[in-house]
Amino acid sequence: MEFTVEQIAQLLGGRIQGDATTKISKLAKIQEGDGKSLAFLSNPKYENYIYTTEAGAVIVKNDFIPKSAVKATLIFVEDPYTCFTALLEQYHKTMLWSRQGVEEPCYIGATSSIGENHYRAAFSYIGNHCTLGTNVKIFPHVTIGDNVSIGNNVIIYAGVKICADTVIGNHVTIQAGAVIGSDGFGFAPQADGTYKTIPQVGNVIIGNHVDIGANTVIDRATMGSTVIEDGVKLDNLIQVAHNVKIGQNTVIASQAGVSGSTEIGKQCIIGGQVGFSGHIKIADRTSIGAQAGIMSSVTTEGEKLIGSPALDARSYFKSYTIFRKLPAVMKTIEDLEKKIISLSSEVK
């Protein structure tokens, strides 16, 4: 895409100095651009660059006065950095959502449908009886199994596996390599020491505005549904077991794991590498520090927990501070013992 400096200045509400017809097609740092680039100057310590930059245009502060000749067209605004990042975000979003059309070969079952403005990359696979909404972007090597339902404005990056029967809402982004709807880990011990597989016939339901990280795994329910509610953000390499429920707007950092049938409330903030036992409930607005181990339900809202097994954060750090000093504490105890022995002998 190409814009004139005039169009950009209009968008930013900026004043132009120089050639308003200069054509811009990309964003760059001031020290790296070429004639088609738009750069910005915010920090005065980079001012030198503006006199040598190859960029076609530079966004500068309203009060900027060049000390010598400037080749680039200038756009004067109140806050160049904010204007530039806003353009960058807009550009990024536009590029992403403008991806459209079908690359061959790709596969879609005869009984499946997909809405307008979709992108289906080469080697993407959609099974049968699937319904996909408008503005769905499917990258290479995505597998979508049978009976999957997907809403509108959904981005599914390369190599994501969405297994049969999964239901996904609107405005969802799934990063590369994530697996949604794999079989839950259910095995019944037999008398001879072997395990019998318990069929996993449930599914996964994902709400709206959910983000799912790369190589994260969400298992289908044994029966019923594993549920990820609206606004949940899951980082990379997270494990969500069968029949788990994660409440609205809860954020979970990388490599955390949630065991089967556990329910996490709304607006929780969970650190990286945290582990949850199965069949417990976590109250809304719980904060859990990285690497904590949550072995029992959390019933009071708004608690902060840390440690394994987890305690409330202040108690944990108090105890841990003493843990660090345990060798000195032992010394104190031994001294006390000696003193008592000596006292005893004195008394007797």
Q: Please identify every residue annotated as catalytic.
A: 242
Contact 30, 39 (CB under 8 A): yes
Q: Mention every residue, 6+ apart, whose C-beta is less than 8 A from residue 328.
A: none
Residue with smaller CB distance to its own copies, 70 or 253: 253
Residue with smaller CB distance to its own copies, 69 or 110: 110
Instruction: State both tokens at 34.
Output: 């070429």
Contact 265, 248 (CB under 8 A): no
What DSSP letter does each residue of 79-110 carry, written as one string?
Answer: -HHHHHHHHHHHHHHHHHHH--EE-SS-EE-T
Identify residue 22 by its one-letter amino acid code.
T
From the CB of 216, what's the least distance to its own copies, in Å?
8
Residue with smaller CB distance to its own copies, 183 or 301: 183
| 96 backbone dihedrals φ, ψ, rounded to 5° | -65, -50
Residue with smaller CB distance to its own copies, 16 or 127: 127
Query: Distance between CA 210 and CA 48 in Å, rounded?
Result: 44
Helix 5-12 to helix 80-98 angle (10° resolution) is 110
Residue with smaller CB distance to its own copies, 7 or 85: 85
Query: Distance between CA 160 and CA 251 in Å, rounded?
Result: 21
Element (H, E) at 276: strand 275-276
From the CB of 177, what's the least distance to its own copies, in Å?
5
Identify residue 91 by its one-letter amino acid code.
Y
From the CB of 199, what's the least distance to its own copies, in Å?
4
From the CB of 78, what's the least distance to its own copies, in Å?
21
Tell me if residue 10 falls in helix, strand or coil.
Answer: helix
From the CB of 231, what's the least distance to its own copies, in Å?
5
Q: Mention every residue, 6+ apart, whose C-beta is less than 8 A from residue 36.
A: 2, 23, 24, 25, 26, 56
Query: Looking at the chain, how many residues does it have?
Result: 348
From the CB of 256, what's the least distance to its own copies, in Å?
9
Residue with smaller CB distance to its own copies, 116 or 122: 122
